[in-house]
Structure 1
Amino acid sequence: MFRADFPDPFILEHEGQYLAYATNTAGSNVQMASSTDLTSWRSLWNEREPNRLHDAMPVLPSWAKPGFTWAPEVLRTPAGFVLYFTARHATSGLQCIGAATSANPRGPFTSQASAPLVCQDALGGTIDASPFRAPDGQLYLYFKNDGNHPAFNKPTEIFAQRLSPDGLGLSGEPVSLIRNDKPWEGRVVEAPTMVEQDGAYVLFFSAHDYAWHDTQRVSSYAVGYATCEGPLGPCTDDANNPFLASASTSCLSGPGHQTVFHAGDRQLFAFHSWAATSACRPAKLGRFLHIAQLSWKDGVPQLTALGQP
């Protein structure tokens, strides 16, 4: 566990280190942390201003308003690295998705775009971009319409769309894969992560209200998955969802916004959950990073603690 406010984590292996990216905090649009062993993590700090966190994207594109930069994910390409992020569209006030590039995974990532890459204006905006490279090399981008925006009150859906080889352009039309149509999902499905496993496609996602309210024993936020016939679906929710949920016995509260990555031959599953007091109440310290080992049995994903068989 990384005991720092580090919500919506994404992890990239690079040159023997693991680089983690997370939602904005303390004046940093895209905060970062690093580890060599996946157990001990340290925040990256600004080399010129040691009291400031390092910012992987210190300057936002012209369309974006500071203070609302969420859920960064990074794609490695032959030309370098592409950072996908959610930010507040200054004109519409909606959350929308942008893309920025850098030769270095630590940044600075920059974008000269005058408009978002994806912004579903009629559906409440767009958040939680997640890239995926299929075994044939085709790139896809997954994202969620922000229909739970109070001004829209629409269903939330997870969409997929083809990406260009450089990761900066979209082609074809977005395809809806799942929507919030199960009781455990509440009004929200979000945070998509597509995985190919032995020829099968599995879409992990988070659902329900991410918050931990003082009136709740634990948060209702949880992780589920759907099996898909291909990167563009169709997809079917697993009947046993949620896959990972809060547990008052261990005081795991609000696990979600997962990502899947590799460390050598191991497949790992990172997510955040709320910091808790010893009495299992909100500690008001934000959301901490957790990492578990992901394995599969008869096509069904399973989580175990790091280091366990």
Structure 2
Amino acid sequence: MNRWAGDPRLRGPLTPLIAGAAISAVVALVVAVANACVPGSGRPEARPSRPAAASGAPVPSPAGTPGPITPPGYAPDRPVLGRPFADPSVIKVAGTYFAYGTNNGEAAMPVATAPSPTGPWTRTPGDGLARLPAWATTGRTWAPEVVPPRPGQASYTLYFSARRKDADVQCIGAATASSPAGPFVPVEGDPLVCPRQLGGAIDPASHIEPDGTRYLLYKSDARETSSIFLVRLSPDGLGIAAAPVKLIGHESEPVLVEAPDLVKRGGKYVLLYSSGWYFRSNYQTRYATAPSIEGPYTKAPAPLQSTEAYGRRIDGPGSADVLSDDTGDYLVFHGIIGYHGGANVNRGMYVAPLGWDGARPVVRGVPVRYEAEAGRLNGCVSALDRPNASGRKAVGPFDRDGCRLEVPVFAPTAGRYTVRTQYANRSGRDTDLELSVNGTAGAPVRLRATGGADWTSAAADVELGAGWNTLGLRRLTGQGQVDYLELR
């Protein structure tokens, strides 16, 4: 969650704009009015971007609760903010979503708003950060995180990283504001976190336990020893209450680890983080799980998001932030939208629905492959050795009535998905299969004749429920072999 957003102007001083205060006043008025319209409410709705830990995913919205607006043209693999908006984090206040990003050529902390997690997002004029504290210099204000007021508090808290004036290291500071739009005024004095012996600290991320205990996660910034740390905070979130604890290091990772985010799902703590270089295609989102907040954390074997996983539709996805509201979870992250030489890149903001298979996160928009041979096979469909197939196996031959394959698949959210069937059909004529969902006939799938060792695919759209579903393929005519099903 670090580094420049790509505009060379941001290397110079960034002066807060007077317009920021005006926007903040308008936002505060809107929040107050919205709050007054909610019966029995004495303060604005304010859900943390990183919610208090829970044993499972958010409870579904009650029947009749309106879902978020999905604007025309939205897709989970398209940026919702195409202008530079790196290291995004999002909160919801009184029905409006606020996003905060790393400095760019216009602001030390750019702010954007939307009526829905998926947009449309609009950049607000001005600067969300009134000024930097006395210890910091301008131009490297990275990875902001805003936490709404806790019970008994009146201020929004901002955590950010900035460069020290007297040392070539980044440190983490805090600021407060009466409005989610800012302008945030820094807490003066020493930085909140600044481990010089570890090369400084970046990428602050808040986590609050159900009992109100506050924590801050961060990355130690020295390249050779980059690690994710957790430190307990004072009740107001503005002081350190205990010694930091190392959660994970960069062992086995491409280059380093950074950009932490912590939630609790499926009875476990789930630590999301990034690895790789933020300015290269190898940047990716990974995760680790633990039975307790301090670990030990076990890293998942494969990335949650990567350039390859997206089929290169998103370049270098990372710096992920979990947003939770009454409609579910969303993953807010950035991807590279422009290269300008060396480490100078522009990164846009993306938002994708996020589901949970216990403690395993599943992101909408990342295609997931399910090998056919791992499904349930009946008597006339069996696993076949095929060296050119994915996993070196396929199933078939679907040459008799009643031949059927059933494959369990996981959908992160309810909705319409595309199922791509990878197959070979060397019978010399087309084959027709029926694609069903949870035992109900869905769409026809035609397997065109193929030649030699060629494999090709056919696609069909289906409606899936959130969670596990069963996709079935049943023979109608002809014969063929199925390599895998891919859910998009």
Structure of greater Rg? 2
| Among 104, 107, 121, the residue aligned to 1:41 | 121
In the alignment, does 2:205 pair up with 1:169? no
Q: Which residue of 2 aligns with 1:4?
A: 83
**Residue 265 to residue 88, structure 1, CA distance change in 2 (3 Å):** same
Query: Does the aligned pair in 2 maintain the 1:57–1:109 contact within 8 Å?
Result: yes
Distance 1:161 1:228 in 2: 16
Name the CA shift for 1:29/1:107 in 2 (closer, same or farther; >3 Å): same
CA distance 1:84–1:116, shift in 2 (3 Å)? same
Asked if residue 237 in structure 1 is aligned to residue 312 in structure 2, the reply is: no
Identity among equivalent positions (%) equals: 36
Counterpart in the other structure of 1:216: none
Map of 2:5 onto structure 1: none
How is 1:60-209 mapped onto 2 (pairs within 5 angstroms)?
A: 60-77=132-149, 78-148=153-223, 154-182=224-252, 185-209=253-277
Aligned to 2:95: 16
2:138 matched to 1:59?
no
Show the counterpart of 2:359: 299
1:33-53 deviations in Å (ceiling 9; x for gaps): 1100222111001xxxxxxxx
Query: The residue matched to 2:197 in structure 1 has which SS?
Result: helix
Relative to the length of structure 2, the TM-score reads 0.56
Q: Compute the RMSD of aligned alpha carbons.
A: 2.0
One-letter amino acid of the structure 2 residue matched with residue 192 of structure 1: P
Higher-helix-fraction structure: 2
1:149-173: CA deviation from partner (whole Å, max 9, x where unpaired): xxxxx31100001011111011111
CA distance in 1, matches of 2:276, 2:358: 28
Q: 1:246 aligns with which of 298, 302, 307?
A: 307
Contact 2:270 2:359 in 1 (8 A): no
Deviation at 1:302, TM superposition (A): 0.4
Whether the 8 Å CA contact 1:156–1:179 is kept in 2: the answer is yes
Residues 223-277 of structure 1: per-residue CA shift (max 9 Å, x gap): 10000222222211112x2111113734311100000011323111010001169
**Distance in 2 between the 1:24 and 1:86 partners?**
11
Give the letter for the 2:260 counterpart: P
**Does structure 2 retain, via aligned residues, the 8 Å contact 1:155–1:187?**
no
Give a deviation string over 1:112-148, Cα, whole Å, max 9, x none.
4222110110111100000101122211100000011
Q: Which residue is 2:436 aligned to? A: none
Aligned to 2:322: 260
Range with bigger deviation, 105-114 or 248-257 = 248-257
Name the SS for the 1:223 alignment partner.
Answer: strand
Shift of 1:105: 1.0
1:307 Cα offset (Å): 7.2
- The secondary structure found in structure 2 opposite 1:211 is coil
Change (3 A) 1:112 1:304: closer
Bigger proportion of residues as strand:
1
Structure 1 residue 93: Cα displacement: 2.0
The match for 1:210 among 278, 287, 304 is: 278
Count of aligned pairs: 283
The gaps in structure 1 that reach 5 residues or longer are 46-53, 149-153, 213-218
Aligned equivalents of 1:273, 1:75: Cα separation in 2: 24
Could you give the per-residue CA deviations for residues 268-304 of structure 1, whole angstroms, max 9, x where no partner exists? 1010001169xxxx9x871111111111113311011
Once the two structures are superposed, residues 6-42 of structure 1 have per-residue CA deviations (whole angstroms, 9 ceiling, x without a partner) of 0000001011110000000114110011100222111
Cα distance between partner residues in 2 of 1:66 and 1:166: 26
C-alpha separation in 2, matches of 1:285 and 1:113: 32
Q: Report SS of the residue matched to 1:155.
A: coil
- TM-score by length of structure 1 reads 0.87
Q: Distance in 1 between matches of 2:266 and 2:245?
A: 23
Kept after mapping to 2: 8 A contact 1:202/1:226: yes
Give the secondary structure class of the aligned counterpart of 1:258: strand
Q: Which amino acid aligns with 2:216?
A: L
- Residue deviations 1:192-249, cap 9 Å, x none? 000011432100000111113xxxxxx100010000222222211112x211111373
